[in-house]
Structure 1
Amino acid sequence: MLAFANAKINLGLLLTEKRADGYHNLQTVFYPVKLYDVVELIDADQTSCIIKGIDIPGSAEDNICLKAFKALQADFKLPNQQIVLLKNIPVGAGLGGGSADAAFLIKLVNQKFNLGLSIEQLQNYARTLGADCAFFIANKPSYAYAKGDEFEDIALDLSPYFMVLVKPAIHVSTAEAYQNVKVKQPSTSLKDLIHLPLSQWKGRILNDFEVSVFAKYPQIDEIKTKLYASGATFALMSGSGSSVFAIFEKPVLLPELEKEHKVFYNV
């Protein structure tokens, strides 16, 4: 049994407060995109995880999918499974690939073993694994707040547009990005800004990580500049980087960016 775990982008990301538990309160809009990993569950004598495709840091024994399965296995006495993870979503890109894999693994286990867990129960398992992991349970456009693990549905459909994602050969550490970011209360909530016409997003819908990340990695800033020069209506770094997405009114090709970076079209 397998599932296709999609990536996400952040349509804005505002860090509003440092919390006592070490996390940050934030405002963001999570939006699912058409870029996928594959997660598979196979009956096995021992529980294990095999990773194929893109290399990812760490060993398979420490993979977030294995942690997710073992949490459910402990609670429901599940039989051993082999987890096969085919990685395609770029790592260290601000696209939530690892969180997506874990969330879809949780949903796969719920389905395969008929656990009957509700959306809320599935989200609670996901929340223990990462701040954005719970988003992928419902997996629909959402305004997220608190640590990024509380959600409100939003009516947002970008399917009439053409979206491009550019991933440079740069890995941005999430921990490093948080160390250098400055927190502040926004004058207008992202929850309100997201309902502006797309043509008004530029300069209003921001990612607070861009200032410090662009300072260290000016190549990422250059990508965003080139996307606007190519006619993008809106462009922004996703999450803590390093990928940058752009929304165009019509299909485009970006051969100059393809020379140095990985470019995904119509995601």
Structure 2
Amino acid sequence: MIAFPNAKINIGLRVTGLRPDGFRNLESCFYPVNWCDALEIIPATNLAFTSSGLTIPGKASTNLCLKAYHLLQQDFNLKPVRIHLHKNIPIGAGMGGGSSDAAFTLKLLNNLFNLEISVPDLENYARQLGSDCAFFIQNKPVFAIEKGDVFEPLKLDLSNYKIVVIYPDLHITTAEAYREVVPQAPADNLRELLQQPLPTWKNRVDNDFEKALFLKYPVLPELKEYLYQSGAIYTSMTGSGSAVFGIFSPDFTQTLLVPHTTYAVWQGAL
């Protein structure tokens, strides 16, 4: 069985407070985008995990896809499988690529072995693998709160718009990003701002990680300005990583050329 785990962007991200469990509370819109990995799971004699494409840091035995398999193995008598992941979504970009791979592994195993796990139960399994893993089970726009693993419905349809995402070959870990941000109560209501027309989002729908990380990594504000100069209606850093995206009008047809050959660029429809 084959699936194509997709990335997500954060449209607005507020870090609102500390939690007793050591995590931070946040609020953000999670929105799926079609920058994808490729994931294949087939029955096998012995459990195995292989990967291709972008180099994945760490040992293969600690990959989230294998962790997803072992998580279900605790409750179901799963037969061995061979998992192959072709990694295409940049790592440390704030786009949830690893979380998506884990969530899609759960969904593929559920289908492959006819486990009949419900969507809410799949989300609960996914929450054990990472804070934003559960989003990729239903994979639709939501307003995320708490650790980013509790979702509220959000009416936001950007399907007529185009998007350009630039990853500047800069891996920012979640731990590094959170060290740089100070939780604070938001001054305005992000959910209400997201219901306003897209052109009003500039300078209002913001990402709390930008303030410190833009000072530390000047390439990030440079990319944001480049996207605005190229005609973007709204741009932002996504998540706690280093990818910067721009949302463009439906009639945008230009192919953006970034002068640095090590940068990864993806553009398409939202």
Please say which of residues 237-246 and 189-198 is displaced more in the overlay: 189-198
Structure 2 CA distance for aligned equivalents of residues 161 and 257 of structure 1: 25
- The aligned counterpart of 1:252 is 254
* C-alpha deviation, 1:199, in angstroms: 0.5
How far apart are the structure 1 equivalents of 2:178 and 2:89? 22
Cα deviation for residue 252 of structure 1 reads 2.4
Say if 1:260 and 1:72 are closer, same or farther in 2 by CA, change over 3 A.
closer
Conserved in 2, the CA contact under 8 Å of 1:165 and 1:264?
Answer: yes
- 3-state SS of 1:158 partner: coil
- Other structure's SS at 1:110 match: helix
Which secondary structure does the structure 2 equivalent of 1:255 belong to? coil
SS in 1 for 2:265: strand
Aligned residue in 1 for 2:102: 102
Q: Which residue of 2 aligns with 1:204?
A: 204
For residues 98 and 199 of structure 1, the distance between their equivalents in structure 2, rounded to whole angstroms, comes to 31
In structure 2, the residue matched to 1:170 is 170
Which position in structure 2 is the counterpart of 1:225?
A: 225
- Cα distance in structure 1, aligned partners of 2:165 and 2:267: 7
- Change in Cα spacing, 1:257 to 1:31, as seen in structure 2 (3 Å) is farther
Q: Partners of 1:91 and 1:58 in 2: how far apart?
A: 12
Superposed, 1:65-214 pairs within 5 Å as: 65-214=65-214
- In structure 1, stretches of 5+ residues that fail to align are none
SS at match of 1:121: helix
What TM-score comes out, normalization by structure 2 length?
0.96
Q: Please report the TM-score for the alignment, with normalisation by the length of structure 1.
A: 0.97
Q: Are 1:12 and 2:37 counterparts?
A: no
Stretch of structure 1 that moved more, 183-192 or 142-151: 183-192
CA change 1:76–1:248 in 2 (3 A) is same
Matches within 5 A, 1:52-63: 52-63=52-63
Residue type of the alignment partner of 1:28: S
Q: CA RMSD in A?
A: 1.2
Unaligned runs of 5+ in 2: none
The SS at the match of 2:94 is coil
Note the 1:22-33 alignment, pairs <5 A. Answer: 22-33=22-33
Report the Cα offset of residue 190 of structure 1. Answer: 1.5
Q: What is the count of residue pairs matched by the alignment?
A: 267
Encode CA deviations 1:204-250: one digit per residue, 9 max, x unaligned: 10000001111111111110011111111000000012100001112
What SS does the corresponding residue of 1:75 show, helix, strand or coil? coil
Query: 2-side partners of 1:92 and 1:169: how far apart?
Result: 9
**1:202: how far off?**
0.4
Question: Matched residues in 2 for 1:38 and 1:30: separation?
Answer: 21
CA distance in 1, matches of 2:172, 2:185: 25
Q: CA deviation at 1:33?
A: 0.2
Runs of 4+ in 1 over 3 A off after TM superposition: 256-260
